[in-house]
Amino acid sequence: MILTENQNNKRSNATGHWAWNLAVGFSIFFLIYLPAKDVWQGESGGDYYTLATLLPAGVYYTLAVTFLGSACAILVGLLVALGKMSKRPLVQTLASFYTEILRGVPLLVLLFYIYYALGEFLKIPALFSAVLGFGFCYGAYMADVFRAGVESIPVEQKEAARSLGMTERRALRQIILPQAMRTILPAVSNQTLGMLKDTSLVSVLAISDILRVGNEYATKHFNYFETYTYVALMYLALTLLMSRVTLYVETRLKTRQEWR
């Protein structure tokens, strides 16, 4: 049986939807079942239940770094993208120089540099250092995402805006960027999901994220297998739930633009 492209897309979406449901169900089931099992069996000291009561604080810092880092990266990415599309050669060169430098430095090294190396001159709080590190690093990647999105808008749109008497800046803000967001959003969502997983690196800055809380717990109780299994389940659940939130935002934005 030969399926049309539309039927094939529907089947692919349905398969992906069921796979997501299965993965969410798997992670949430074990996140609840493992601590509950320890309660039923009356275990104490180094059990899943105790770990489950400690991790919410780690989730708070993980999500804080993700959302603040994403906001910083989007701002940096947009400014650098505008710089790369500037008509001024000096601005173009500086923006390209920024992306080349930041892409060549590993994120972990950048975090160390901001917190420890610059810490010799400036007292930068650990959370702020993490946000800056993620913002600068991911901003270099998002710059090309924004640039590609803006350049995907037909030139006729820009010419029409100019013919209506709009300045270049106003046309960009009111005509080009809103349309480009539809193209940009999936890529930005993927970057945010990647950032959520990379937040495990902030444990080196003494930030009590999920991994650091789990690491301290495993070191204290010598139960590495159980701890890192539960930590992995926690990251899996957060990533899956965030992927669905970003998909919902994409769908809402797409629907709103189609109605216009």
Q: Provide the pLDDT for residue 94.
A: 94
Q: How do residues 8-55 score in pLDDT, each as one tens digit?
A: 777 777 787 888 889 989 999 999 988 888 888 776 656 888 889 999
The CATH classification of domain 45-258, taken from the options 3.40.640.10, 1.10.3720.10, 3.30.565.10, 2.60.120.330: 1.10.3720.10
Q: Quick one: pLDDT band at residue 195, thresholds 50, 70, 90?
A: very high
Residue 230 CA neighbour count, 13 Å, CB half: 29
Separation between Cα atoms, residue 147 and residue 141, nearest integer Å? 10
The rounded mean pLDDT for the chain is 86
DSSP state of 3: P
Instruction: State the DSSP string of 170-234.
Output: HHIIIIIHHHHHHHHHHHHHHHHHHHHHHGGGGGGGT---HHHHHHHHHHHHT-HHHHHHHHHHH
Residue-range domain boundaries for the chain = 45-258
Token digits of residue 108:
């972990």
Mean pLDDT of all residues in 170-194: 83
Q: Is the Cβ–Cβ distance between 27 and 233 less than 8 Å?
A: yes
Mean pLDDT of all residues in 192-216: 91
> What CA dihedral angle connects 89, 93, 94 and 97, to 10 degrees?
180
Q: Quick one: pLDDT band at residue 176, thresholds 50, 70, 90?
A: confident
Mean pLDDT of all residues in 49-73: 92
Q: How do residues 101-153 score in pLDDT, each as one tens digit?
A: 999 999 999 999 999 999 888 888 999 999 999 999 999 999 989 988 888 88
